[in-house]
Amino acid sequence: MPPETLQVIDWLIVMCYLGLIAYLGRHFSKKQKSTSDYFVGDRSIPAWAIGMSVLATLISSVTFLAYPGEGFNGNWIRLVQGLAVPVVLIVIIWFVVPMYRRIIGLSAYEYFEKRFGYFARLYSSVAFMMAHFTKMGTVFYLLALALASMTGLNTYYVILVVGIVTILYTLFGGIEGIIWMDVIQGFILIGGGLVCVSVLLLKPEQGPVDVISTAWKNGKMSMGPYNWDFTKLTFVVMAINGIFYAIQKYGTDQTIVQRFLVAQSDKKAIKAALMGALLCVPVWTLFIFIGTLLWYFYNNAGFELTEGITGDKVFPWFIMSQLPAGVTGLILAALFSAAMSSLDSDLNCLAAVGVDDYFRRFKKNATDRQCLILGKIIVVACGVFAVGIACLYVRLGGEAILGTVFALYAIFSGGIAGIFLLGFLTTRANRRGLNIGIAACVLFTGYAILTSTKFDLGGDEKQQLLDLGRFNFTHHKYMLGVYSHIVLFVVGYVASLFLRPDKDIKDFTLYGWLAKRKDSSAAGE
């Protein structure tokens, strides 16, 4: 049986980690004198640090806990989405980063307004906020679930404490503090994962070769099934989903775009983005591999799980029952790092969107001090809201949380990648055509959700929300997000062909960027 509470040395390590975070938040708070300082920094942060921050932003307690849970219960199919990220990024990053650094001030959604008008900016920023509120609640929930199981503390109490700590250091540190804290947290996260892999490979008497070969023979490292079936979770479904996820994340997500703006130059911003994406794949692989090793550990190596310990709970059980005092504290610090490095970015970026996309828009004479104060208020409000979402997860239960996160992200994606592709790749698309595309996307998403979702009536019966018979949406929920992007792009483009083109939009497209680069090369710049 694992110990019910952490040892003194473990608590000391965790306290030292939290103390370091508090110190850094206080240190960087002295520099937060303007909204530029708070949201963009002084543009003097090295590219490697920004790259580590991109990694830490994309890695969270979802990675630390849900990926091992998926690896334990199934195979590596959830990893397929992440493999698409560097492939897509290598294609688009050379164009997207310089364009954003040239035409936007703070919010990624300013680009959509300049290309298609304010409604496009409003729609895309709301979709961003919905997706990230859902994600933040999940991150809080998974962290609290693990800490509660490790320490015996009440889950709601853990959520509250972690929420307060995260909100406070994000509130005071600003984007520069967040990036440097992300660097520390990124190294702790990777180090914690490597320690766990070493134990899981070396502790079984059978040895590492047998561990890996057994897992391979049993399909635990497979990314299948590989059949061409959109109704089930297959390699094809995850690969297509991953392509659009990567476009949306690096082309439209404020948490990433804001880091493009922090870098000293276009070249360094591109270097940081590539570094972050290329590091993510091995880290995602590391943690799903931990799940595979846990499967071997508890099914083939003679170690036992207590009844009821499954999925997301297996990794915390292993940490408490198999790691020595001190090491457990280090892994717990890594778990804190995984959650906080994602949450701090979300809070800061939600505040940036609130200030730049809404407050400055409707209060044009607002002073910079007013904007800074409001930004900090939004950090607190969003943090409190995310804590509430996490508490709701606890009340409703959260099994198979990684699948839920992917499904909700697909739903709340709202065709944003379609808007980006429509604006960036075409010169014929116009704002009225886009608005028709958005309407079609919303209608399609509503139809797909209503005809594919069932609710519990009690007992064994579940009722379809809307049953259209053979016209129900039967494809996997992850494809809903993919189709929403495609519907918006196709309908928006076709509708634009029948409407008057917008003027002066070429600078906001790929072709405008290529023309400027050609002119610069000809001028010898």
| DSSP class per residue in 344-374 | HHHHHHHHHHIIIIIIHHH-TT--HHHHHHH
CATH at residue 161: 1.20.1730.10
pLDDT of 298-332, one tens digit each? 988 888 888 778 777 888 888 888 888 888 888 88
pTM of the entire predicted model: 0.86
Q: Which of 507, 491, 487 is nearest to 499 (CA)?
A: 491
Q: Which position has the token pair 């980006």? A: 420
CA gap 111, 116 in Å, rounded: 8
* 130, two tokens: 């919905």
Of 343, 374, 399, the domain-final residue: 399
DSSP tag of 105? S
User: Whole domain around residue 464: which residue ranges?
Assistant: 414-515
Can you say how many angstroms the Cα of residue 374 is from the centroid of all Cα atoms in its chain? 25
Q: What is the pLDDT of residue 290?
A: 94
Amino acid present at 51: G
* 422, two tokens: 């429509």
Of 399, 427, 452, the domain-final residue: 399
Q: What is the pLDDT of residue 400?
A: 47
Asked if the structure places residue 406 within a domain, the reply is no
**Same-domain pairing of 98 and 12:** yes
Cα–Cα distance list, 238 to 230, 231, 399, 450 (Å): 10, 12, 20, 22
Contacts of 95 (CB under 8 A, 6+ apart): 424, 510, 513, 514
Asked if the structure places residue 158 within a domain, the reply is yes
**Same-domain pairing of 324 and 447:** no
Region of residue 459 (left: phi > 0; alpha: psi -120 to 50; beta: else): left
Can you say how many angstroms the Cα of residue 213 is from the centroid of all Cα atoms in its chain? 32
**HEC string of 468-482?**
CHHHCCCCCHHHHHH
**Domain total for the chain?**
2
**Same-domain pairing of 394 and 428:** no
Q: Which of 445, 455, 436, 438 is nearest to 480 (CA)?
A: 445
Asked if the structure places residue 132 within a domain, the reply is yes
Cα–Cα distance list, 293 to 10, 117, 142, 215, 343 (Å): 24, 51, 20, 8, 28
Q: What is the pLDDT of residue 397?
A: 64
Q: What is the pLDDT of residue 494?
A: 96
Q: What is the pLDDT of residue 498?
A: 93
DSSP tag of 413? T
**Same-domain pairing of 466 and 392:** no
Asked if the structure places residue 404 within a domain, the reply is no
**Same-domain pairing of 461 and 352:** no
Q: What is the pLDDT of residue 462?
A: 64
Asked if the structure places residue 114 within a domain, the reply is yes
**Same-domain pairing of 97 and 228:** yes
Exposed (0-12), middle (13-18) or buried (19+): which is 1, by Cβ within 10 Å? Answer: exposed
Asked if the structure places residue 184 within a domain, the reply is yes
Q: What is the pLDDT of residue 365?
A: 86
**Same-domain pairing of 387 and 454:** no
**Contact call for residues 492 and 437 (beta carbons, < 8 A):** yes
Q: What is the pLDDT of residue 496?
A: 95
CA gap 426, 419 in Å, rounded: 11
Asked if the structure places residue 420 within a domain, the reply is yes
Exposed (0-12), middle (13-18) or buried (19+): which is 320, by Cβ within 10 Å? Answer: buried
Q: What does R_g of the chain's alpha carbons equal in angstroms?
A: 23
Q: What is the pLDDT of residue 132?
A: 82
**Same-domain pairing of 96 and 63:** yes
Q: What is the pLDDT of residue 222?
A: 92
CA gap 42, 113 in Å, rounded: 26
**Same-domain pairing of 279 and 194:** yes
CA gap 184, 509 in Å, rounded: 37
Cα–Cα distance list, 43 to 101, 174, 176, 264, 330 (Å): 12, 13, 9, 5, 32
**Same-domain pairing of 286 and 384:** yes
Q: What is the pLDDT of residue 411?
A: 63
**Same-domain pairing of 224 and 262:** yes
Q: Which of 255, 250, 247, 95 is nearest to 170 (CA)?
A: 255
Contacts of 421 (CB under 8 A, 6+ apart): 247, 485, 489
Of 352, 368, 399, the domain-final residue: 399
Would you give per-residue pLDDT tens digits along the chain (525 residues)?
444 567 888 889 888 888 888 787 777 777 777 888 888 877 778 899 999 888 888 877 677 777 888 899 989 998 998 888 888 888 788 888 888 888 888 888 999 999 999 999 999 998 888 888 777 877 888 788 777 777 777 888 888 888 888 888 888 888 888 888 888 888 888 888 899 999 999 998 888 999 999 999 999 999 989 999 898 889 999 999 889 888 888 888 888 888 888 888 889 989 998 888 888 889 999 999 999 999 999 988 888 888 778 777 888 888 888 888 888 888 888 888 878 888 888 899 999 999 998 898 888 888 888 999 999 999 999 999 888 888 887 877 655 454 555 556 556 667 889 999 999 999 999 999 999 999 999 899 888 888 887 665 555 556 667 778 888 888 988 888 889 999 999 999 999 999 988 887 878 888 877 777 776 665 555
DSSP tag of 232? S
Asked if the structure places residue 329 within a domain, the reply is yes
Q: What is the pLDDT of residue 517?
A: 72
**Same-domain pairing of 70 and 184:** yes
